[in-house]
Amino acid sequence: GENVEQHPSTLSVQEGDSAVIKCTYSDSASNYFPWYKQELGKRPQLIIDIRSNVGEKKDQRIAVTLNKTAKHFSLHITETQPEDSAVYFCAAPWKAAGNKLTFGGGTRVLVKP
């Protein structure tokens, strides 16, 4: 969607290293930012989300940070494992499009053992 840009499009990391994916959005009214993980041939599944009243949220090895001033949010995966290999999508609501949830283009993460 035009509201959300996601970088990088591909990311290769060594097992045990950290991975960071960044998304920027254009609608300053956006207030909800989910991240979805999609394994090869599977459906997307929510892994973490953050609302605009907090700056950071953690769940074990994954965390999301939000900078509302700069209009970007990031997914951080620490101590990466081979099972983290997947495509990750960020999303944000876009009021100009009727408050619909729009997705970034995705980041393909490959964790090398």
Query: Can you give the binding site for another protein, defined by CB under 8 A?
Result: 1, 4, 6, 9, 31-32, 34, 36, 42-46, 49, 89, 91, 93, 97-106
Q: Which residues pair with 36 in a beta bridge?
A: 46, 89
Residue 91's CB: how many other CB atoms inside 10 A?
A: 25
Q: Which is nearer to another protein, 4 or 66 (CB)?
A: 4
Give min distance, CB of 16 to another protein, in A. Answer: 29
Q: Is the dihedral of CA 106, 24, 36, 96 positive or negative?
A: negative
- Which residue stretches of 1-113 are H helix? none
- Smallest distance from another protein to CB 51, Å: 9
Query: CB 106 → another protein: shortest distance, Å?
Result: 5
